[in-house]
């Protein structure tokens, strides 16, 4: 794995530059920076609608130093697969010679978990040689914090607000990584924006594989999560330690844990209490809700651990 120094001191410089209009302390831009730094070959990026596209490509300015193509919420994966197919067609007919171009699609959780799921599913099933990276900040942050399929249970959003009747979003977060494993793709991984080493390692591993790859990355949104800007990195790390967002990878259907907090595992409340979107859970009378969230996290963690253990014993 390339060290941070090697990534930072590449002669070509950064492929994703500053001056974009994301909020101070935004969690997603460093995913783009690190992922692009980890790819050594020429790369074509496709971006779904979302903070990613709105912040980085306000006409006439762009933060991308690589070819960047924006399409709608629902078809970034379809567009990327089309670019890939066209590229291989040109290669086959001999109109281009270099065969080392790689394809990456970026999408937010709204454009991946909800609106773009059908095109993503299609692209993965057709087996295009592309990497889809979903940065998951748990709501439609770009349009004003509306709930999405990725919003955790009991989070406060503008379309599932906390009130006298309901304590925020009532449904559980969708498990997208597992949905993608169901597509039988060669590589699926879950990581966070706050662990550069793990993120770079997983992007490098994905890039070494030909075929469809999927990466889902938890990213903090200081605006939507109602957190302090300087805590952006710490928050995603706490999500891992609380086992709310375990780091794991699935290679050819085999689950492998990337990090096990073991005795460093913290109660999920330690992660929730730093976020304004969960502050109602700490009011008197809501202890039951908190216990419910903890039980859910513990069950999922135990299931995942058992699955990883089962696969580690297989040859």
Partner 1 sequence: MTTTLNEEKYTANLSASELPEGGIWTEAGSSLMRKTGDWKVEQPVWDKTKCISCFTCWAYCPDSCLKVENGRVAGVDYDHCKGCGICANVCPPKVSALTMEKAR
Q: How far is the CB of 9 from partner 1 (least distance, A)?
A: 5
Exactly one of 118, 143, 159, 230 binds partner 1 (CB under 8 A); which one?
A: 230
The closest of 233, 255, 261 to 304, measured between CA atoms, is 255
Whether the CB-CB separation of 146 and 139 falls below 8 Å is answered with: yes
Tell me if 175 sits within 8 A of 145, measured CB to CB. no
Cβ atoms 63, 20 nearer than 8 A: yes
Closer of 18 and 285 to partner 1 (Cβ): 18
Among 9, 99, 208, 314, interactor with partner 1 by CB under 8 A: 9
Q: Which stretch binds partner 1 (CB under 8 A): 140-148, 182-190, 229-237, 256-264?
A: 229-237
Q: Which stretch binds partner 1 (CB under 8 A): 137-145, 158-166, 231-239, 277-285?
A: 231-239
- Other CB atoms within a 10 A radius of the CB of residue 76 amount to 33
Count the alpha carbons within 13 Å of 139 in the hemisphere toward its beta carbon: 27
Helix, strand, or coil here: 102?
strand
- Stretch of 20-28, 249-257, 280-288, 295-303 lying at the interface with partner 1 (CB under 8 A): 20-28
Q: Can you tell me which of 2, 54, 57, 122 binds partner 1, judged by CB under 8 A?
A: 57
Rounded Cα distance, 47 and 65, in Å: 14
Token pair 């087996």 in the structure block, residue: 127
DSSP states of 112-153: IIITTHHHHHHHHHHT-S-EEEEEE-SSBTTTT-B--TTSPT
- Cα 236 to Cα 218: distance, rounded to the nearest angstrom: 7
Closest distance between partner 1 and the C-beta of residue 180, in Å?
26
Rounded to whole angstroms, the maximal C-alpha distance in the chain is 69
Q: Which residue from 69, 179, 233, 266 is in contact with partner 1, where contact means CB under 8 A?
A: 233
Of 54 and 307, CB closest to partner 1: 54
Which one of the spans 83-91, 222-230, 264-272, 300-308 is the region binding partner 1 (CB under 8 A)?
222-230
Sketch the per residue contact string, 174 through 213, with partner 1: x for CB under 8 A, - otherwise. --------------------x-x-----------------
Q: Which tokens go with 83?
A: 């670019």
List the x/- string, 33-52, binding to partner 1 by CB under 8 A: xx------------------
Segment 60-99, which members bind partner 1 (CB under 8 A)? 60-66
- In the chain, the N- to C-terminal Cα span, in Å, equals 25
* Binder of partner 1 out of 84, 109, 136, 231 (CB under 8 A): 231
How many residues sit close enough to partner 1 to count as binding (CB under 8 A)?
45
Cα gap 206→109, rounded to integer Å: 20
**27 or 138, CB closer to partner 1?**
27
Give the footprint of partner 1 on this chain (CB under 8 A): 3-5, 7-9, 14, 16-30, 33-34, 56-66, 194, 196, 222, 228-234
């Amino acid at each position: 794995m390339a060290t941070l120094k090697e990534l930072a001191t590449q002669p070509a410089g950064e492929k994703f530059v500053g001056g974009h209009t994301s909020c101070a302390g935004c969690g997603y831009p460093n995913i783009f920076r690190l992922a692009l730094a980890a790819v050594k070959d020429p790369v074509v990026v496709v971006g779904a609608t979302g903070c990613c596209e709105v912040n980085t490509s306000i006409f006439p300015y762009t933060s991308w130093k690589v070819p960047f193509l924006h399409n709608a919420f629902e078809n970034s994966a379809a567009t990327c697969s089309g670019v890939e197919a066209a590229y291989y067609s040109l290669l086959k007919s001999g109109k281009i010679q270099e065969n080392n171009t790689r394809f990456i699609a970026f999408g937010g959780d709204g454009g991946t978990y909800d609106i773009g799921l059908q095109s993503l599913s299609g692209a993965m099933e057709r087996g295009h040689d592309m990497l889809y990276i979903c940065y998951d900040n748990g709501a439609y942050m770009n349009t004003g914090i509306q709930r999405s399929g990725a919003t955790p249970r009991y989070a406060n959003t503008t379309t599932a607000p906390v009130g006298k009747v309901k304590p925020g979003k009532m449904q559980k977060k969708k498990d997208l990584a597992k949905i993608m494993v169901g597509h039988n793709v060669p590589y699926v991984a879950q990581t966070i924006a706050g662990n550069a080493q793990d993120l770079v390692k997983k992007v490098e591993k994905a890039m070494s594989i030909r075929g469809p790859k999927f990466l889902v990355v938890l990213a903090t949104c200081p605006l939507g999560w109602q957190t302090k800007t300087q805590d952006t990195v710490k928050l995603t790390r706490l999500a891992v330690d609380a086992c709310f967002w375990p780091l794991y990878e699935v290679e050819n259907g085999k689950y492998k844990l990337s990090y096990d907090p073991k005795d460093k595992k913290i109660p999920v409340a330690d992660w929730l209490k730093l976020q304004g979107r969960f502050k109602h859970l700490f009011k008197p009378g809501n202890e039951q809700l908190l216990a419910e969230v903890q039980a859910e996290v513990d069950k999922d963690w135990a299931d995942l651990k058992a699955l990883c253990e089962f696969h580690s014993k297989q040859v």
